[in-house]
Amino acid sequence: MQSVDLDVIIPAFNEEHNLEATVEVVLKCEPFFRKLTVYIVDDGSSDGTNIVAQGLVKKFKNVILISHDINRGLGQGFLSGLKAARGDYVLEIHGKNDITFKELYKIINLVGKKDLVIPYTMNTCDRSLVRRFISQAFVNIMNYSFGLKLKYYNHSVLYKRADLNLVELKTSSYFFQAELLVKLILLHNKSYSQVGVYDDFHTGITKTNAFRLRNIWGVFLGYIKLLNKIYLSRKRL
Query: In order of start, what are the domains of the chain with their CATH numbers?
Result: 5-236 (3.90.550.10)
Q: How confident is the model at residue 210 (pLDDT cuts 50, 70, 90)?
A: low
Residue by residue, DSSP assigns 98-153 as ---HHHHHHHHTTTTTSSEEEEEES-GGGS-HHHHHHHHHHHHHHHHHHT---S-S
3-state class percentages of the chain: helix first, strand second, coil last, to nearest 5: 45, 20, 40
- Would the pTM count as exceeding 0.95? no
Q: Is the pLDDT of residue 17 over 90?
A: yes
Choose between 218 and 45: higher pLDDT. Answer: 45
Q: Is the pLDDT of residue 206 over 50?
A: no
Choose between 136 and 124: higher pLDDT. Answer: 136
